[in-house]
Structure 1
Amino acid sequence: MTETPDDIVLSLRDVKKTFGPIVAIKQMQLDVRRGRVHTLLGENGAGKSTLMKILAGVQPATEGTILLDGTPFAPKSPQEAAKHGLAIVFQELSLVNTLTVAENILANREPNRFGFISDRKLIERAETLVRELGLPIDVRARVGDLSIAQRQLVEIAKGLSHDAQIVILDEPTSSLSDAEAEILFKIIGRLTEAGKAVIYISHRMEEIMRLSDDITVMRDGAYVATLEKNETSIDALIALMVGRQMNEIYPPRIGEEPGDDVAPVLEVEHLSSGRAFVDVSFSVRPGEILGFFGLVGAGRSDVMKALFGMRWYEGTIRLDGKEVDLKDPSEAIRHGIGFVTENRKEEGLVLAHSLRNNITMAALGGVSSGGFLSRHRERQRAEEESTRLGVRTASIETIAGTLSGGNQQKVVLAKWLMTRPRVLILDEPTRGVDVGAKFEIYRIIRQLAAEGTAIIMVSSELPEVLGMSSRVAIMSRKHLQAIAPRADLTPERVMSFATGQNK
C-alpha cells in the first residue's frame, strides 16, 4: 500500500513531556493512518499512557508538534478532544460505581428537556449503543454491582459512544475473557472498515500480532521504531521493547513437582456460595501451582474470595488436615493464606500511602514490639521485600499511586510475602502488566513454589495458565468442570470445558 499524506490522520513530531525535572517522554514520533490499527508497544513506564493523555487533552505537551488532519492539535480538555473526533478508553476505569451503566455511558450528555433528564430516552440510547456493539451488559444495572470485566465493557461502551475518527484503546482486554475480547475485536474490525483509525495499547503479544497493521515501540519515554506487522515478529518486538532478548516468557519450574505422596496443605470440599458458585472441590499441595481458568462470570474470583473470608460459604475447608472456619480476611491471614486480588487499585493497595506502608500493612506484628511499631524494622523489612521483588523506585517512601502497573503489582506481592503465607492466591496476577514485568512476576511465582508455598493462580490468559500451572482447574457456569495435569491439556480441550461443551 502506497502511503500518501491523506492516509495520515494524526501526526506527532518531537513531542516531549516533563513534570518538573522528570522527563516522562523524551522525543516521540508517530503517524497514524485511517482504516488501520496502530499499536503502541512498550514496558510499563515507557510513556504510552502519558502520550495518550496528551492526545486526549488531559495533559499538555511540553514541546513538539501534533497535527490532526494536517491542522495543529493541542486540546485543553477531554471534551475539546472529543469535539475534534478523538475518543479514548483509558486503562484505569473512570466510572461512577453508584450510577447505572446507562448513566455512566452517557455522563454529561444525558438527553434532557428544559434541564430535566429523560430516563426513558437515556435507557433507550444506552441500550441502542450496547446492542450495536454486541456487549452483554444490562444498562439498568448499577456499575458497583458489576464484575471488573463487566465494568471494562462499560468503559469501552462509554468511549465508543462518541462519534470519533480516532479511537484510542488503552489495555482494553486486560480484564476480559477470550469470549469478551472477541466481541471487542469485531468492534475494532467494524471501526477500521468504516475508515476510523484505532490506536491500540496492549501487553498481550499474540493479540497485538493478530490485530495490528502498524506497531510503534517506545522505551524509556523515547521512540524506538515503527514496523508493519507483517515485517516483524514477537521475539523482535520484545527485544526492541525491553532492550534485551527474552527466549522464554515462562520460566521453567525449579525442582520437582510435588508427588501424590505429599499431603495437601489446602483441601476444599463441596464449597458453595449461593448463586456465585456451586459444589467446588479441589486440593493444593505445597510447592504446587494450581491454575484456575474459566470465562468471566464462571465464579473463579468468588471462590477465591470465599477462601480468603471475603464472602460466606457452605462446605469444608481444611488446612494441613484440620478444618477451619474462615469468617473474615484476618482469620484467613492468621491461618497463613495470602490473597493478591485482581483489583489492585481498589482492593490491593492504598494508593495515597507509601510503598513502606503498603508492603508492611498486612504484617505489622512482624515489625512491632510490645504493641509499638518499630519504624526502623518496618523500613528495613519493606526495603528487603522491595529489593527481592525488583520494585523500581527511587525510595521506599514513594507514593504507591505514582508507580507503573507492573511495579504496583510487585508491591501487592511484597505485602503478602511479608506474611509468609502457606497458601498464596493470585487472582489475575499480571493484569495490565508489560511483558518484562510479567517475566519477573513469573520468576517470583516459580521461586515461591520452589520454597514450598502452595499457589492458586487465577487467570483469563490461557497461555499463562498453561505456561505456569502444574494442574489446571476449569470452571464453567459457577461449577468446577474439570481438574487435570497440565500435560493432559491443550488450549482446545481447556476451552471445551470452559464453554461447557466437554463434560
Structure 2
Amino acid sequence: MTVTAPPGSETILSLRSVTKSFGSQRALDSVDLDIRSGEIHAVVGQNGCGKSTLVKLLAGYHSPDPGSVGTVAGASFELGSVTAAKDAGLRFVHQDLGLIDDLSVAENFFIESDRGWVSPITKKDERVRTAQAIEDFGYDIDPRVLVGDLTAAERTAVAIVRALRGEKPPALLILDEPTASLPGPDAQLLFAALRRLTRAGGSVLFISHHLDEVLGLAGTVTVLRDGRRITTTSIDDLSHDRLVELMLGRALTPRAQYEAATATADPDRVPRLSVRDVRGDGLLGVDLDVYPGEVLGIAGLTGSGRENIAGAIAGQTFRWGSVTVDGEPIRPSDPVDSLAHGLAFAPAERRRDALLSTATLRENLTIANLRSVSRRGRLSPRLERKDSEKWMETLDVRPPMQDRVIDQFSGGNQQKVVLGRLLRTEPKVLVLDEPTQGVDIGAKDTIHGLIVDAASEGAAVIICSTDVEELVQVATRVLVFRRGLPGAELTGQDLNVERIEEEQLLAADVPPHNETADVAFQKGITHA
C-alpha cells in the first residue's frame, strides 16, 4: 500500500535551488523538493546522482552553495547545520548507519541526551527501554550485545529503531538505503513501521535502489540524474520501466539470464571449491561444492546462516571443518592464506570491512595485487596509473578520477572498485556477500556482467544475497539456508523468485537448532 499525503496537508520540508559543488564538480544543481505531512516521498536515481549528498546537506554534514534555501513547516531552515536539523525534528538513518561497533546496542541508543552531552549509559532502565523498542519493531536483540557482533540486518534494525524512538514521532524521517541488507520479511517490518509513522502525522523521505519497494510504498517520487531533478510525480503515473528510463535517461535492455548450461557440473570434473562439515557462528555442518564456471547463489532469512557462510569460507571468521580450492586445504580464519590459494572475498559491509576510506580509488583498486604494477620489486606509478585507467573503464566508474579519495565516491562506484580489486587477482574462487547492496540498477547490471564474465572464464563463484531476483538472474544453482544448513537446492525451472521465497519460509523440514553444537563452538572460540 502506497502512502500519499492527506488532502490539504502542510508542506513539512521545502527546498529551493539547492546546489552543492565539490571543486569543479557539481553534485547537486538547483534542486527543488517539497515533502508534505503524512506522506512517504521517495528520491531515486543512479549512484552518483546526488541522493546521498542531499541527505548529508539536510543532516548538516555538508554545507550548500550560496543561494540554496530550505524551510521546515514554513520556518526558515539552515541547511548544513546539525543543530538546525535536530531542532526541526529531522531524524536520519544513513547508509553507514552511524553506529559505534565497540558500544552495546543500548549504549548506541542513549549515547546522546536531549541536552546534547554524553549521558550515563549503564542504567538498567535504558536497557529495558531499548529492548522494548526493538521488540515493538519485531526483533529480538539483546541490548547488552556489542553492535559490532550483530548481523548486517540486525544493525540496520537497531539504527532504524533508534531513529524512531522518542515520545513523539519525528517531523521527517530520512532513510538512505534502509533495506540494503534486509531480507524481504525484515523489510516488511520496516514498511509497517513507516506506515504507522505516517498515520501518526510523520513524514518519510525514502531513498532506495529497490524500485519495487518504491512503487509499493511511496506516494510521490522525485527522480535525480547527474545532480538535477528530472521530475517529481505521483506513483500512480509510473511503471517500473518508466521509472528506470527516467533514472537512466534511456531504456535498460534486460541482461539475459546466465545460461546454466555453460556451468553445469560434469560428473567427471573435480570441484574447484569444496566445503565439508563447516561449523561456526550460525553454521551447523555445511557441505557444498562449486565447479569452474558455476555461479552458486545462497539465499536465506536473517539467522539462517546465509549471512555467516561467506565469511567462514573465506577465512574471515572462526570455523571448524575443511575448505579446499582445487584440492588444496585453506587454513581456518586466515584470509591471507585464502587469497594465496586464489579465493577472493567481498564482504557485505564494504565501507567497514573492504575499503581504505582515506586512500584514493587507485590505491584501493591495486592494493591486493601490486606485483603486476611493479618493476624489480618496486611499485611503478606509471604502470599503476595505466592499470587503474583500464580498470576504471572496465568497471564504468563515474567520475573516472583515480586520484580521488574513495570515500567521496557513491556506494555503487565503491562496490565496483571492491569487485575490480578482486578480479585483478585473477581468482579461482570468488565469494561475494551482498555484491549489489545499495547500488543502483545501472551499477547492478555492470556488476552482474563482471560476475558472469568471471564465471565464464573459469572462476567458481558464490553469491550470498537477500536480493532474490539477483540470484535468479545470475546464479546457475541456489542453496536456500535454514537454521544453519542448506535446506533446499534449486535449479532449472525451480530457480525462480516465488520458489526461493517459499523455501526460505519452510523451516519445519530442518532439524531443530543444535544447541550442543553451538556450545561446543563457543568453547572452541574460547580456547582458540
The TM-score range, normalised by the shorter chain, is over 0.9
Partner residue of 1:28 out of 19, 27, 31: 31
1:202 pairs with 2:205: no
Q: Secondary structure at the match of 1:223?
A: strand
Cα distance in 1, alignment partners of residues 208 and 278 from structure 2: 36
Indicate if the aligned counterparts of 2:111 and 2:118 stay in contact, CA closer than 8 A: no
Mapping for residues 50-449 of structure 1, pairs under 5 Å: 50-62=53-65, 63-74=67-78, 77-109=81-113, 119-162=123-166, 163=168, 164-248=170-254, 250-253=255-258, 256-261=261-266, 263-326=269-332, 328-449=334-455
Cα distance in 1, alignment partners of residues 253 and 355 from structure 2: 32
Cα distance in 2, alignment partners of residues 115 and 300 from structure 1: 37
Indicate if the aligned counterparts of 1:339 and 1:424 stay in contact, CA closer than 8 A: yes
What amino acid is aligned across from residue 497 of structure 1 in structure 2? Answer: E
Q: Secondary structure at the match of 1:167?
A: strand
The one-character-per-residue Cα deviations of 1:449-476 (angstroms, maximum 9, x if unpaired) are: 2222211111101111112110001111
What amino acid is aligned across from residue 363 of structure 1 in structure 2? Answer: N
What amino acid is aligned across from residue 173 of structure 1 in structure 2? Answer: T
Give the TM-score normalised by the residue count of structure 2.
0.89
Unmatched segments (≥5 aa) in structure 1: none
Shift, 1:68, TM fit: 1.6
Shift, 1:84, TM fit: 1.5
Match of 1:9?
12
Shift, 1:322, TM fit: 4.5
Match of 2:475?
469
Shift, 1:255, TM fit: 8.9
Shift, 1:237, TM fit: 0.6
Indicate if the aligned counterparts of 1:271 and 1:313 stay in contact, CA closer than 8 A: no
Query: Which segment is superposed worse, 480-489 or 259-268?
Result: 259-268
Quick one: structure 1 residues 450 and 16, their matched pair in 2 at CA, closer, same or farther if it must change by over 3 Å? Answer: same
Quick one: structure 1 residues 55 and 367, their matched pair in 2 at CA, closer, same or farther if it must change by over 3 Å? Answer: closer
Cα distance in 2, alignment partners of residues 56 and 490 from structure 1: 40
What amino acid is aligned across from residue 288 of structure 1 in structure 2? Answer: E
Unmatched segments (≥5 aa) in structure 2: 511-528
Cα distance in 2, alignment partners of residues 386 and 374 from structure 1: 18
Quick one: structure 1 residues 280 and 27, their matched pair in 2 at CA, closer, same or farther if it must change by over 3 Å? Answer: same
Query: Which segment is superposed worse, 478-487 or 73-82?
Result: 73-82
What amino acid is aligned across from residue 186 of structure 1 in structure 2? Answer: A
Query: Which segment is superposed worse, 103-112 or 49-58?
Result: 103-112
Cα distance in 2, alignment partners of residues 403 and 277 from structure 1: 35
Cα distance in 1, alignment partners of residues 322 and 23 from structure 2: 56
Cα distance in 2, alignment partners of residues 114 and 90 from structure 1: 21
Shift, 1:373, TM fit: 2.5
Cα distance in 1, alignment partners of residues 349 and 330 from structure 2: 26
Indicate if the aligned counterparts of 1:269 and 1:279 stay in contact, CA closer than 8 A: no
Q: Aligned residue pairs: how many?
A: 502
What amino acid is aligned across from residue 347 of structure 2 in structure 1? Answer: T
Q: Secondary structure at the match of 2:481?
A: strand
Shift, 1:82, TM fit: 2.0
Indicate if the aligned counterparts of 1:135 and 1:183 stay in contact, CA closer than 8 A: no
Quick one: structure 1 residues 115 and 48, their matched pair in 2 at CA, closer, same or farther if it must change by over 3 Å? Answer: closer
Indicate if the aligned counterparts of 2:274 and 2:325 stay in contact, CA closer than 8 A: no
The one-character-per-residue Cα deviations of 1:97-121 (angstroms, maximum 9, x if unpaired) are: 1111111112211899997666123
Indicate if the aligned counterparts of 1:251 and 1:439 stay in contact, CA closer than 8 A: no
Quick one: structure 1 residues 66 and 299, their matched pair in 2 at CA, closer, same or farther if it must change by over 3 Å? Answer: same
The one-character-per-residue Cα deviations of 1:48-101 (angstroms, maximum 9, x if unpaired) are: 111122222333332232222222211553343122121111112211111111
Shift, 1:207, TM fit: 0.8
Quick one: structure 1 residues 3 and 138, their matched pair in 2 at CA, closer, same or farther if it must change by over 3 Å? Answer: closer
Q: Secondary structure at the match of 2:284?
A: coil
Quick one: structure 1 residues 321 and 142, their matched pair in 2 at CA, closer, same or farther if it must change by over 3 Å? Answer: closer
The one-character-per-residue Cα deviations of 1:283-309 (angstroms, maximum 9, x if unpaired) are: 111111110111122222432222222
Cα distance in 1, alignment partners of residues 189 and 133 from structure 2: 14
Cα distance in 1, alignment partners of residues 476 and 337 from structure 2: 28
Cα distance in 1, alignment partners of residues 372 and 378 from structure 2: 11
Give the TM-score normalised by the residue count of structure 1.
0.93
